[in-house]
Amino acid sequence: MSAAALRHLRLRHLPPCSLSGLKTQSRSPLRTFHRTMATAASPATSAPSAGPVTKYRLQYEPTPFVVSSVHLDFALEPEATVVTQTTHYKPNDKFKGASKDMLFDGAAPDDLKLVSICVNDADITAQCDRHAKGLTVPASSLPDADEFVVKIVTEIAPAKNTALEGLYQSSGNFCSQCEAEGFRRITFYYDRPDVMTKFTVRMDADKEKYPVLLSNGNLVESGDVAGTSGRHYAVYEDPWAKPCYLFALVAGNLKCVEETYTTKMSGKKVTLRIYVEEHNLDKCQHAMDSLIRSMEWDEEKFGLEYDLEIFNIVAVDDFNMGAMENKSLNVFNSRLVLATPRLATDGDFYRIEGVVGHEYFHNWTGNRVTCKSWFELSLKEGLTVYRDQEFSADVNSRAVKRIDDATMLRAAQFAEDAGPIAHPIRPDSYQKMDNFYTVTVYEKGAEVVRMYERLLGKDGFRKGMDLYFKRHDGCAVTCNDFYQAMVDAANGGNDLPNFLNWYAQAGTPAVTCSSSYDEAAKTYALTLKQTTPSTPGQPSESKKPLMIPVATSLLDSSTGAPMPSVTVSTDGGDATTMEGPEFVLRFHEAETTYTFSNVASKPVPSLFRGFSAPVKVTVDGQSMDELAFLIANDTDGFVRYDASQRLARTAMNACMDAIPEDVAPCDCVPSGELASSPSVSQYLDAISTAIDRVVAMAPSGIDEDTLSFIARLVVPPAASEIITDVPMGTADPAKVCRAREAVLNATAQRNKDSFAKLLAYVDANEPKEYKPDPTSMALRTLKSVCLKMGVRAATVAGDAAASEAVYNDVLERYRASTNMTTQIACMSALNDLKECPAREAVMEEFYNTYKEEKLVMFKWLSMQASSGCNGADTMEKVFEEHPAYNINNPNSNYSLLGGFCGNLSQFHTPEGYAWIAKMVKKLDTINPQVASRFCKVFARYRQYEPTRQALMKGYLEELSKIESLSENSREIVTLALNDQ
């Protein structure tokens, strides 16, 4: 499922800041590795607790009864939908001879009303125990038979379901969301991913209000309901067995765009439909094109053909995550379907393509092969994120994609790994599964999958994938099953030493590299050491070494060219010849020295090329000259980018304590001794050289990769990334923000003329008609950077008349633009300017133009929330009650609250903390899943200096005392407060 993310705002695991309770316990469930869980009481036989229940991976046990088939009948009404479930069960042979109760999962009585339950037509309602966690059917009420039928009738109120889990209404239409545990808000059932069966679904509803009725699989029957006035029905059968989390239902007044796709492998025709509200029909073409490209790519890349004759997508406005991969009926957050050049940015087009691909790819990696338990979530999500990353890289720029993926991981996932909710990609325990749709499970999980490819090669990885599907199609399996398929198919049955430790250990590994060159012997020695820091329940000394692929090249220090062939050996190991400009070192011990022979001159190492492992790297003795050399000469885009980030960090560190607290952002400019310091001057020299080289290309044309690369190269690390790297208990966000402003301002000032030339190049080469193709997107990305740098340069210069002319030029560009990307770029360039008429004009004009466009208003809210002009007081008095904001809509909260939490200079104030804490309390009573994400912004309080630390902890303690606090929020709050 897409969520968490957060591709930030990728809207897979929303929001972008990765906003990731337990009754108070002395130890967190994520802190203890429960060695005795295999003998703990089974959830299949124990009466559930009324409070939060901790689930453990080692406690897994199959259900005592197997589901043969399910028939669901929905009589749809907003206030009182009646659901009739008829299910055939068989005793599980693994429990033969044992008397077992049936423990069905179900929501609290306020959310799910039990009408009746019958077994083989005998009413046993009075004999069952209806409790807060579901329904217990005593063994004494069950027949001693090889198969029996359970019929359960429930009543739900979709119109009142603000949690947006189970069956609810969005814009008056019925919609379902069942992953992870939403199905239990619809009926009583074994709500777990390993219970797979075939579903038949019948719906009846008011024909005028809900003319479209959709569910999984094939439509087998439809018509008017006999004996009623104005009601109709539809029956769907899904030929593929699936768990209930993949069940979907949509009913509403919707229209569709339709195309057909003919598969390349067998020539099968597939009908593709995207359902939206009628006024959005013109916004679907890009999503449809992305779906077709995804289907073609999956056949060509992995030999995976779609397995039904219809594929439906439905866009809804109210959705907690990004999208959901329900079999043949994908439900999407409307932000990730609807797009036109006038209303959507390049980023929107790019995200739509990636997420449409992600959800389609789940048809095999998630649906056909699914998870044995939710602890194995990364089995499907990490693998599918890897697949959507590869898809995006193939249809766009691979080098830029890797830079973007690494940047997001460092800013969001590394921070999560360093906090109180740090967890492995396969956690050992949880209370609310919704809290573990995280960047760790998704994006770090994808990097773990990518490491298989690095270690086994593309051909070996494909063999492993083929064997995985051959062995496990139609099954619910584990991460170990995936590992074994990879090892057996691609590695000759040999283990990948220590690789499974990636699934068990939390924290971001740190790799230290040191080297020496023996000129007489012509040998170069590279020593790698790895450690993983302590995380909750896993002290550093207990962490085991990991298998880390280190993609490496040795560069000639004179020419910058890679050494084409080297011989390498390790301590006690045989020598191996590494051919080609790049090779992969398999580093799996705590420390290993690699000795390279026949190295003619001292090389410059190019390490972790393409971000070959999700680790933090320190290169002992690496000079700023070497970093500048890598920026100028390396052929690997990520290494060049990473070198620029390392230089930027040194420059920011130099500025951190040198700029007084009372200096305005526009006056944060290194001057005097600071400006001439090696840390600052060498960074500016390296960046300026890189910019000048691109400017020199202009007469003959600049390729799209270079355009995209230079736009990223000049931006220093995010403040959130820098905060993760400072010692625990010392982070001062204001200092970090001032230092980052100083580096940006100095870059803008130093390269003012070059940015103006690049802007002129973009103006001359950007197509007049908007196109979301890679080259056009690269031009507009560079334009945005040039506009921001131009505004910075004018502002720091202090010439009021000159700066006003620059601001007005940006305003006129906004007014002349016909696409949303450039309009947002202009707004962003002016967004932090206080008392600036141009900023005020653009914000007002944008609102007046687009106030009826809900999706566009999310952009406006996010822009306002992220502005340095707007503090918590403005958020509370202006935007909290603004007509553009709706607390019931997740996108609205991700835009306003998420944007403000990412605005570090404004959020990290007493007023900022107070406002977000207040909003969390309100949200928790409406949508606990969304509220818990914003609890996470307080969770890393120990990272900050004492004053902020005390304030953040105080709000966590305040939340913990709310008796009615949801389980979602309470788990996060308790994990944070128990962190030691």
Cβ atoms of residues 870 and 834 within 8 Å: no
How confident is the model over 914-937, as pLDDT tens digits?
999 999 999 999 999 999 999 999
For 426-448, what is the mean pLDDT?
97
- The per-residue pLDDT for 736 is 97
369-503: CATH topology is: Neutral Protease; domain 2 (1.10.390)
Take residue 387 and report the two structure tokens written for it.
């697949």
CB under 8 Å to 869, separation ≥6 — which residues?
831, 832, 833, 834, 839
pLDDT classification of 1: cutoffs 50, 70, 90:
very low
**Residue range 163-184: mean pLDDT, rounded:** 98
Active-site option among 165, 181, 359, 721? 359
Q: What is the mean pLDDT of residues 567-576?
A: 76
Q: Are 598 and 567 in contact (CB under 8 A)?
A: yes
Report the distance separating Cα 356 and Cα 287, nearest Å: 7
pLDDT given at position 930: 98
675 pLDDT more than 90: yes
Inform me whether the pLDDT recorded for 364 exceeds 70: yes
pLDDT at position 27 is 27
DSSP state for residue 835 in the 8-state scheme: T
State residue 578's pLDDT score: 74
Token couple for 110: 């306020």
126 or 26, which is more confident: 126
Listed range (30-39, 387-396, 582-591, 964-973) with the worst mean pLDDT = 30-39
pLDDT band of 6, cuts 50, 70, 90? very low
Confirm whether pTM is higher than 0.85: yes
pLDDT at residue 480 greater than cutoff 60: yes
Asked whether this chain's domains 64-253 and 510-613 adopt the same fold, the reply is yes
Whether residue 640 contacts residue 634, with contact meaning beta carbons closer than 8 Å, is answered with: yes
- 320-334, 572-586, 767-781, range with the lowest pLDDT: 572-586
pLDDT at 552 over 50: yes
The model's pLDDT over 733-757, given as tens digits with 9 standing for 90+, comes to 999 999 999 999 999 999 999 999 9
Rounded Cα distance, 922 and 195, in Å: 36
Q: Is residue 558 scored above 90 in pLDDT?
A: yes
Is-contact 335 856, C-beta < 8 A? no
359 is catalytic: yes
Mean pLDDT of 511-523: 96
* pLDDT single digits (tens) 127-154: 999 999 999 999 999 999 999 999 999 9
Residue that wins the pLDDT comparison between 491 and 820: 820
Q: How many Å apart are CA 551 and CA 561, to the nearest integer?
A: 16
Determine phi and psi for 161, rounding to 5 degrees: -85, 85
- Mean pLDDT score of the chain: 93
pLDDT in tens, 190-219: 999 999 999 999 999 999 999 999 999 999
Output the CATH code of domain 64-253: 2.60.40.1730
The CATH number of the domain covering residues in 622-792: 1.25.50.10
Please say if the pLDDT value at position 767 is more than 60: yes
- pLDDT of the residue at 47: 56
> Would you list the domain boundaries of the chain?
64-253, 369-503, 510-613, 622-792, 798-851, 853-979
Is residue 869 pLDDT above 70, yes or no?
A: yes
Length of the chain: 980
DSSP string, 64-90: SEEEEEEEEEEE--SS-EEEEEEEEEE
Mean pLDDT of 496-508: 97
Residue with tokens 């703990």, as numbered in its chain: 40
Percent of the chain with pLDDT over 70: 94
Q: Taking 70 as the threshold, does the pLDDT of residue 574 lie above it?
A: no
Tell me what pLDDT residue 51 has: 76
User: What pLDDT is recorded for position 45?
Assistant: 42
Of the CATH numbers 1.25.50.10, 3.30.1490.20, 3.40.50.1820, 3.20.20.80, which one belongs to the domain with range 853-979? 1.25.50.10
pLDDT score at 573? 65
Predicted confidence (pLDDT) at residue 502 exceeds the cutoff of 60: yes
CATH number for the domain formed by residue range(s) 510-613: 2.60.40.1840
Q: What does the pLDDT look like over 52-104, one tens digit per residue? A: 889 999 999 999 999 999 999 999 999 999 999 999 999 999 998 788 999 99
